[in-house]
Amino acid sequence: MRLSSLLLLLSLLATGFLGAQTDSLNLPVYNYASPQEFEIGSIKVEGAFFAEQNAIIGVTGLAVGDKIRIPGPDIPRAIKNLWRLRLFTDVSIEQEKSIGDVIFLVVRVEERPRFLRHSYRGAKQGAHEDLNEIVNTYIVRGGIVTEDAKVNAAEGIREFYEDKGFLDATVSVEEIVDTSRANSVRLVFDVNRGEKVKIKRITFDGNEEIADKKLRKRMKETAEKRKFLKSSKFRPELYKEDLDAVIAYYNTQGFRDARVIGDSIYRNEDGELMIDVKVNEGNRYYFRNITWKGNSIYDDETLSRVLAIEKGDVYNEEELQTRLSFSPTNADVSSLYMDNGYLFFNADPIEIAIENDSIDIEMRVFEGPQATIDKVIIKGNDRTHEHVIRREVFTRPGQKFSRSDIIRSQRQIIGLGYFNQETLGIDTPVNPDRGTVDIIYTVEEKPSDQLELSAGWGGRQGVIGTLGVTFNNFSLRNLFNKEAWHPLPQGDGQRLSLRAQTNGRFFQSYNASLTEPWLGGKRPTSLTVSGFYNKYDLGTTALPRKLIIQQAAVSLGTRLRWPDDNFILRTGINLQVLELNEWSNLFITDEGETVRNGNYNNFSFQFTLARTTATDPIFPKQGSNIELTVKLTPPYRSLGLRSSDPELLSDVEERFRFLEYHKWRLNADWYTPLGGKFVLKTQAKIGFLGAYDDAVGVSPFERFQLGGDGINNQQFAFAGVDIISLRGYEIEDLPSNLNPVTGQQGATPIFSKYTLEVRYPLSLNPSSTIFVLAFAQGGNAWRSARDFNPFDLRRSVGFGARVFLPMFGTLGFDWGLGFDKDAANTQNGNLSTFNIILGFEPE
């Protein structure tokens, strides 16, 4: 009886695997008690719209001509193979018919729906692009829609909103049949992001030595909602990193055993986050004895002096590693060795004793052999010729390896302005068997040429058009080589600048300059040749009013070796001729006399001593630029080359026909990283124009005009006056700028200006460098050295933004609020000014 029941059960199971294993003639059901062997005569597939039929047959493992047993394991195995694909919602293999011992099979499948498109409910349009990336990660158009894929996509969207601070966000998915294509569906993601959850409070427990405020400052990504310029949102991964930062700060304060022993995150009645962190500070430790072992090149005293850690200093493992290997100024022990070729140097600090609160350190030194540079390889320069880069590199084959030389080379390459500093790569593959190292510099070219094409309204003068081009990586030697024009001859590092500005008859300005940075190609000696012609004609035939300035200049510059090779000395000769015809303002003597007519000759020698260590010409993050310029004319009267007749000296035109002066300019910029991406720019500018002979007096030309934006004033490129911007003040706001007799605008022989500017980059992409800034500034101008007072400043504060586009230069704006304005002189009663920057950064 039991045997009969078992056979019946097996027959029913076989029926389930084979589907309805009967043909259209209603053949008998097969059972496992009497299996039969068949040869497969054919296999057909039904129900497949997307999957390839031959592929389905291949997956089953069945083939025409195969021998199978029915009932038997072959059909169930084929069905399992198809289920494993996870492409179908139903699978069966049925007998279509059988002829003798030949069986004809039908594979029937029901495919899962395919994903056609998706949409959102409750999500703002601005977030769709980000959400699409998430959805496409889990579901591909035309792919199969599974429950796992829908859940994962919805969870990804929820996490996206959670990362934005919407901790209560929920996402559901609705699957809708899409009738535009067979067996297709579209998905609708229903987003309810809720309210943004902010952090109300972060408190610490167990911290006795360090206050909550200092610990909260270390949590850069997890901040209370009242923090200025910080987003108050909770992100679990970043929160864990912030807790690690808290412990890292403890370690820098000597608490090497500090731990987070617990934290609690909960919501108050208003739904805001409350975070309580419990810490165990442990003891504060101090350095005691630091000894050296394994050093033979430098003695213990030298290494200890460079390490600069004294007995009794607070124990700080991070500072110890910095002094050993990672000082940004190269003032570390590793640099001492590596600058002398010891590339394989390593120092391992070992704690050999801990007694109470004191730690003894043994520095175990491995000096290794000196490494020699074998090859210096430059990659990635597809426009700039290799010799232009190689001449800026301080590493040479055959020299001893020097890390300082590599860092300096990196700065020099960036300073060229032709390459993306963010992607500049330096590799140092070592051949330990030969004791050599290769230096590989990998660069990425960026646009460096600039185009200026603009039109502006010049008031009475009408529309003023400007066309200017600057080729910063020009190749003069390929000027007549047609194959080198892509679209211009490039790659030799020369700078060619051409500019024209005019509105027709009233104003014309043309200038050109060419700079060869390596004259002769052997030494970093630059040659610059320049010239300009400016004509400003506001008069008529009956009432002429004209100013014409012509200038030609030649200068040589060279890199010095002492005090160090960051110094540059430039010398130049300038020849300028000024022609005035009833010009009624700007050029004013100290006595209030206005120079209106005549021809004036300005022949001068110029000397500039500069030191540059700034890391990047567009957005420097550290370093400095300091420049002292002296401009001298011959003292004609003292040399007896001019008459001393008092009557001639009383004539303004005759007195200044040949200008006599000595002019001094000091410009200094310092860049200091403040933490994060913030950079502090500190700037000082001072100018002084003096006279050789009191009888002649101070020249009315070559003076300084402080105030305004420094750009509108240069609209007509007056070469006779240095234009210095002062944010928050117009020119009229400084009484010293006004003619004491007529009240007209003039210029002064002395000025000083000081600036503090905090910068924050929004983008350092070489195709568009963008940063915002806030500034505090003070400056003033004086008519004589007797009146000079460095503490008598016109103060202002404000903010601005800059966008540097390689093709157009610097664009941006400044808004400044002046605190020390004379209400009677303030233009239109405005206490603030708004300035536009177009093409170049004003002084």
- Structural contact between residues 761 and 769, judged by C-beta atoms closer than 8 angstroms: yes
**pLDDT recorded at residue 148:** 84
Burial (CB count <10 Å: 0-12, 13-18, 19+), residue 691: middle
DSSP state of 322: I
> In this predicted model, which residue has the larger pLDDT, 517 or 536?
517
Mean pLDDT of 447-473: 71
* CA dist 302 → 50, 297, 323, 369, 778 (Å): 77, 10, 13, 20, 45
Model confidence at 460, in pLDDT bands (50, 70, 90)? low
Q: How far apart are alpha carbons 489 and 478 in whole angstroms?
A: 6
Q: Considering the chain, what is the average pLDDT of its residues?
A: 84
What is the chain's Cα-based Rg?
Answer: 40
Which secondary structure element, helix H or strand E, spans residue 217, and what is its range? helix 212-217
- Structural contact between residues 128 and 68, judged by C-beta atoms closer than 8 angstroms: no
Q: How far apart are alpha carbons 498 and 509 in whole angstroms?
A: 11
User: Torsion-angle region of residue 303: left (phi > 0), alpha (psi -120 to 50) or beta?
Assistant: alpha
* CA dist 454 → 468, 546, 807, 838 (Å): 9, 25, 13, 10
CA atoms within 13 A on the CB side of 647: 0
| Superfamily of domain 2-111 in the CATH hierarchy | membrane protein fhac (3.10.20.310)
* CA dist 610 → 388, 413, 417, 522 (Å): 22, 19, 19, 21
Fold identical between 2-111 and 286-366?
A: yes
- Which fold is adopted by the domain 372-442? Ubiquitin-like (UB roll) (3.10.20)
- Which fold is adopted by the domain 286-366? Ubiquitin-like (UB roll) (3.10.20)
Which secondary structure element, helix H or strand E, spans residue 808, and what is its range? none
Output the six-digit token pair for 739: 């003619």
How confident is the model over 399-416, as pLDDT tens digits?
999 988 998 899 889 888
**pLDDT recorded at residue 215:** 93
Query: DSSP states of 582-646 as a string?
Result: S--SS-B-TTS-B--SEEEEEEEEEEEEEEE--S-SSS--SEEEEEEEEEE---TTTTT-S---H
Angle between helices 128-138 and 147-163 (to 10 degrees): 150
Under DSSP, is residue 58 helix (H, G, I), strand (E, B) or coil?
A: helix
pTM for the complete prediction? 0.65
Q: By mean pLDDT, which of 462-466, 583-587, 683-687 is the weakest?
A: 462-466
Output the six-digit token pair for 51: 């999957």
Its CATH class, for the domain covering 586-592+642-843, is mainly beta
- Phi, psi of 490, deg, nearest 5: -130, 165
Q: How many CB atoms neighbour CB 460 within 10 A? A: 6
* Pairing verdict, β 88-99 and 102-111: antiparallel
Residue listed under structure tokens 């069986």: 103
Cis peptide before 842 (omega within 30 of 0): no
**pLDDT recorded at residue 67:** 87
Model confidence at 665, in pLDDT bands (50, 70, 90)? very high
Q: How far apart are alpha carbons 671 and 191 in whole angstroms?
A: 46
Residue 602 has pLDDT above 80, yes or no: yes
How confident is the model over 750-797, as pLDDT tens digits?
999 999 999 999 988 777 889 999 999 999 999 888 888 888 899 999
**From the DSSP assignment, how many helices (H) and strands (E) are in the chain?**
14, 35
Model confidence at 607, in pLDDT bands (50, 70, 90)? very high
How confident is the model over 365-408, as pLDDT tens digits?
999 899 999 999 999 998 899 999 999 999 999 999 998 899 88
- Domains of the chain, by residue range, sit at 2-111, 114-192, 199-280, 286-366, 372-442, 586-592+642-843
Q: Which CATH number fits domain 114-192: 3.20.20.60, 3.30.1380.20, 3.10.20.310, 3.40.50.300?
A: 3.10.20.310
- Structural contact between residues 472 and 418, judged by C-beta atoms closer than 8 angstroms: yes
| Superfamily of domain 199-280 in the CATH hierarchy | membrane protein fhac (3.10.20.310)
